[in-house]
């Protein structure tokens, strides 16, 4: 059985990059921590909200790498000599990745009440009609 790709369809010219993005997203392996929501806040804006209780602003990093929004969290060890009778709150690091479409811009990031909000806006390009002149050969 041969694998069908977007490039094998004659009507899908130039969509190879989309296929690579889909494969990269499938391989990202986000395990479910931290949990997150994606909500549409208007017809051209979205908000990603991650539950990052216990993380401060200094423990978090947000970058855009090759049209991929990457949010990393790493809690620093305070080095104190605390003795835990029970340790149920894990201090672990994470990385969450979101593939961004063309035209999606990352806006503000705000942390409040243990939730990290990252705002995204989508700028729709103006519709352009282009006429191609036919030359005599």
Is it the case that residue 129 has pLDDT exceeding 70?
yes
Task: For CA atoms 30, 31, 37, 43, give the dihedral sign.
Answer: positive
- Arithmetic mean of pLDDT over the chain: 84
Dihedrals φ, ψ of 120, to 5°? -125, 145
Identify the top-confidence range among 11-20, 69-78, 92-101, 122-131: 92-101
**Do the beta carbons of residue 61 and residue 116 sit within 8 Å?**
no
Task: Give the separation between CA 122 and CA 104, rounded to whole angstroms.
Answer: 4
Single pTM value for the model: 0.70
Of 19 and 129, more confident: 129
53-97 pLDDT per residue, tens: 889 999 999 999 988 999 999 987 666 788 889 877 766 899 999
Ordered by where they begin, the domains of the chain are: 1-30 (no CATH), 31-78+86-127 (2.60.40.790)
Angle, vertex CA 87, rays to CA 85 and CA 88, nearest 5: 135
Is it the case that residue 6 has pLDDT exceeding 80?
no
Minimum mean pLDDT range among 12-21, 31-40, 69-78, 106-115 = 12-21
DSSP letter assigned to residue 54: T
């Amino acid at each position: 059985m041969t694998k069908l790709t977007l490039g094998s369809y004659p009507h899908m010219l130039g969509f190879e990059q989309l296929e690579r993005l889909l494969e990269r997203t499938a391989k990202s392996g986000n395990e479910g921590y931290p949990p997150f929501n994606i909500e549409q806040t208007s017809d051209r804006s979205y908000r990603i909200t991650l539950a990052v209780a216990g993380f401060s602003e200094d423990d978090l990093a947000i970058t855009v790498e090759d049209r991929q929004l990457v949010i990393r969290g790493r809690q620093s060890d305070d080095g104190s000599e605390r003795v835990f009778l029970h340790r149920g709150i894990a201090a672990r690091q994470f990385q969450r990745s979101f593939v961004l479409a063309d035209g999606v811009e990352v806006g503000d990031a705000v942390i409040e009440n243990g939730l990290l909000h990252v705002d995204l806006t989508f700028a729709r390009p103006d519709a352009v009609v282009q006429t191609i002149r036919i030359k005599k050969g």
